[in-house]
Chains A and B, each alone.
Chain A
């Protein structure tokens, strides 16, 4: 099956700093989503981005499907951005299932 690797595994920032999270995947994908899992365990949809670039406030994401990676940018980080960020992909051939990476644990200190 498809492999999904996220980096870095852990990231500690001061409030106001910018960061880039990376997701590499091993095969073609139909679907790529970024999620934020907050400290209460809730999964929040950030982006549905199988290709191209999207922006939502301080967050933006870019997926280069031909090179098999996606990037999540967080600008002017806030303490509420803390949590785990997951990349999940739907394999091109099999479909119907999201394969998750192991996540990036982000801590934003005041």
Chain B
């Protein structure tokens, strides 16, 4: 099992460009999450999907959109990238939305110039 996979690993964007970060899990988990990690800090939740067909905002959703494509895949889209979105983005999954252990992907390092 690959667990949680993310693509790309690295990306550089210019201000105003758009892109989609991809995440997939092969653990048959119901819930998936997108977090961002800024230097010297812990992770903060952007959006989550408690189950296929549902998405909800987390702590820092502004400037992002998400799509739960199917049970395996959860994508994060930046419509018009800004320098403040320079960060490392982590996708995670868990068996359910509450009281379950979350498992994290390797991260995508995004720089917006």
Contact = CB atoms under 8 A, between A and B. Distances in A.
A34 to B, nearest CB: 11
A30 interface: yes
Interface string A1-15: 100100000000000
A105 to B, nearest CB: 9
A6 to B, nearest CB: 9
Contacts of A98: 33, 35, 43, 45, 102
Interface of B: 31, 33, 35, 40-45, 48, 50, 56, 58-59, 88, 90, 97-104, 106-107, 109
Given A41-B107, A42-B106, A43-B90, A95 B42 contact: no
A95 B98 contact: yes
A28 B90 CA distance: 26
A90 B98 contact: yes
A40 B53 CA distance: 33
B43 A95 contact: no
A4 B107 CA distance: 23
Interface of A: 1, 4, 30-31, 33, 35, 41-43, 45, 48, 50, 86, 88, 90, 95-98, 100-103
A97 B48 contact: yes
A98 B56 CA distance: 14
Contacts of A30: 98-99
Contact of A41 (B45, B48, B56, B106): B106
Contacts of A42: 104, 106-107
A102 B37 CA distance: 10
A30 B107 CA distance: 25
A102 B100 contact: no
